[in-house]
Structure 1
Amino acid sequence: MPMNASGSSLASENARASLLMTGAMACFALNDMMVKTLSASMEAPQIMALRGVIVSCLLIALGLQQGVLRPLSRLRHRAVLLRTLADILTTISYISALKHLSLGNASAIFQALPFTITIGAALFLGESVGWRRWVAIAVGFVGVLVILRPATDGFNTYAVWVLISVVFAAMRDLVTRRMPTSISSLQVATVTSIAVAITGFLMLPAVGWSPVSGASWLILLCGAFAIGAGYIMIVASMRVGDMSFVAPFRYSILIFAMALGALVFEERPDGFEILGSLIVVGSGAYTIHREGVARRAARTGSTGP
């Protein structure tokens, strides 16, 4: 029957998209692990500069192969410039924090991003947010506080840098929503990567240059390929599957981050970190679900629950 065939096709696409999203999160966690490893021997600006050059070369090669980098005049759009600035600030703050935090802790705090985007969309884009999502946002930030435990002696102020990176990342994603569809994702990723690399080089005089060993070059290459593969897979996943079904698979990055932290750095999350992570993931997944409900209600013209 046609309906069954259609439903089976959608289920198959969603399954493929969820695997792509999970693979992307594994790549991003691998990149974080490599950046944290490199941060023991070089400062954040040098990592940004060297990794940015490698990633830019990969993206330019991919863009030329697909013929999507031109016309370059589109990249002068105000939204592209603002998004690039936000991405640079996100990168600086997150890499600076990652040196001093466990992989799992940094990843868990960063999962406050969906809440922050929802708040930003309500405040600056005039999007309607129902009471259920406001409750989920409040619960999610409680989860972040459980992870941070700001009242304890063990509070690491570098966790605040992750929260700052979340704010800039939310600004980046909100600006992306206002970007003309004529500008391809690969164009935006390429110009952003080049800008991040240039920013790293400009900041280098303030921190100095550290010698780069053969092992460090290998880690940089692996990190660049991980980011490139993650980018390709995350774009493919959002184009193949239903967004409300696929988006919660972003939280798989926590599993990969905690596993890599344990294996590579012998990090062991405590009970508060695990509890806070579960609260953040549950609230974020519900927020994404409610956004899907709101979008479907808007398309059908109903008010929705």
Structure 2
Amino acid sequence: MCGTLAFFACLDASAKTLAGLGVDPLLSTFMRYAVNVSLVLMVLNPVRTPGVARTNRLTLQVLRSLLLFGSTALNFLALRKLQLAETLSIQFATPLMVALLAGPLLGEWSSPRRLGAVAIGFLGVLVIVRPGVGAFQPAVLLSIGNMLCYAFYVLTTRKLASVDSTATTVFYSGLAGLAVMTPLLPWIWTTPTAWATWALLIGVGLFGTLGHWLLVLAHARAPANVLAPFIYTQLLWSVMLGYLIFGDVPNRWTLIGASIVIGSGLTLLAQESRGRRRPAGAVGPQDPAPPQR
């Protein structure tokens, strides 16, 4: 699990470095999915895995893939202006949004106590964003959009879990993003002249793919409620890489807001764990998951 979070932090750091080198974030997004889809198709394809492309909910699979693409693109665009720790702190609000939306969309209603934790968590996001304050950075709206896309991505993933196999869902994950970005290549493509730029472009796809692979391995070896608290250690990786590579030091408002959001997420997790020990019937939001890139 720690390897997963390290790879995801390296993915964000690579995307931010590329933006600083003048590479269009949309080109970084294309490479993210081009590399990912290429690697996935080596393992999951109709030849090696017959029936993997057969889905009972094609529209929902496409929607899920588009939401993942939107989350990635908005995150890469936000990283042009925001620190790694800032974008990640906002993304940590995803489980809170999932808890809020799971009731009307999935019929998984949260208790008043859980809703209270959600409300406090969103106050933490407001502390980070500070709307109406002179220091407000409009790029945070992109990061909030990323968080919303990923929340709906999580909800569609849960919906698909009951109708399609995991292999089928993984097969479709990156296809929509690649399909959307490929026609835009004539407008966003610039051929890198430095080998380091090529390495970073390949890295955004490689880091994301390896992170997802390790995430699957982690969940195959340990319960989700055991792994979930480790997700918040990704902030440590982001702060460290932000300082070492970009010289960024999170301000006190980011740290205070992140602490509130993380505290709310852990509260939801604790309540969910207690709920699992009760008789069947009480349902709630899923365990927090690391932001999928």
> Could you tell me which residue of structure 1 aligns to residue 119 of structure 2?
138
> 2-side partners of 1:263 and 1:243: how far apart?
31
Runs of 4+ in 1 over 3 A off after TM superposition: 64-71, 180-187, 301-304
Residues 1:28 and 2:2 aligned together: no
Could you say if the C-alpha distance between residues 79 and 270 of structure 1 is closer, same or farther in structure 2, counting changes exceeding 3 Å? same
Task: Give 3-state SS (helix, strand or coil) of 1:260's partner.
Answer: helix
> 1-side partners of 2:199 and 2:282: how far apart?
54
Structure 2 unaligned segments of length 5 or more: list them: 285-293
> 1-side partners of 2:102 and 2:282: how far apart?
21
> 2-side partners of 1:253 and 1:302: how far apart?
30
Could you say if the C-alpha distance between residues 138 and 208 of structure 1 is closer, same or farther in structure 2, counting changes exceeding 3 Å? same
How far is the alpha carbon of 1:88 from its aligned partner?
1.8
How far is the alpha carbon of 1:68 from its aligned partner?
4.1
Q: Is the contact made by 1:27 and 1:230 (CA closer than 8 Å) also made in structure 2?
A: yes
Greater Cα shift, 234-243 or 124-133: 234-243
> Could you tell me which residue of structure 2 aligns to residue 270 of structure 1?
251
> Could you tell me which residue of structure 2 aligns to residue 62 of structure 1?
43
> Could you tell me which residue of structure 2 aligns to residue 80 of structure 1?
61
Residues 1:197 and 2:184 aligned together: no
Find 1:294's aligned residue among 251, 266, 275.
Answer: 275
> 1-side partners of 2:179 and 2:47: how far apart?
25
> Could you tell me which residue of structure 1 aligns to residue 196 of structure 2?
215
Q: Deviations over 1:154-173 (max 9, x none)?
A: 11111111111111111111
> Could you tell me which residue of structure 2 aligns to residue 14 of structure 1?
none
Q: Is the contact made by 2:88 and 2:235 (CA closer than 8 Å) also made in structure 1?
A: yes
The letter for the 2-side match of 1:50 is M
> 1-side partners of 2:50 and 2:163: how far apart?
11
How far is the alpha carbon of 1:63 from its aligned partner?
2.4
Q: Deviations over 1:257-292 (max 9, x none)?
A: 111000000001111111111111111111122123
Greater Cα shift, 67-76 or 120-129: 67-76
> Could you tell me which residue of structure 2 aligns to residue 128 of structure 1?
109
Q: Deviations over 1:130-176 (max 9, x none)?
A: 12111111111111111111122111111111111111111111111
TM-score by length of 2: 0.88
How far is the alpha carbon of 1:210 from its aligned partner?
2.0
Give 1 or 2: higher helix fraction.
1
The letter for the 1-side match of 2:6 is A
TM-score by length of 1: 0.85
> 2-side partners of 1:297 and 1:282: how far apart?
23
The letter for the 1-side match of 2:97 is T
Q: Deviations over 1:200-237 (max 9, x none)?
A: 223345x5322223211111222222111110111222
Find 2:142's aligned residue among 157, 161, 182.
Answer: 161
> 2-side partners of 1:260 and 1:47: how far apart?
19
Could you say if the C-alpha distance between residues 131 and 66 of structure 1 is closer, same or farther in structure 2, counting changes exceeding 3 Å? farther
> 2-side partners of 1:127 and 1:80: how far apart?
21
Structure 1 unaligned segments of length 5 or more: list them: 1-20
**Larger Cα Rg: Structure 1 or Structure 2?**
1
> 1-side partners of 2:74 and 2:279: how far apart?
36
Task: Give 3-state SS (helix, strand or coil) of 2:277's partner.
Answer: helix
> 2-side partners of 1:302 and 1:126: how far apart?
11
The letter for the 1-side match of 2:190 is S
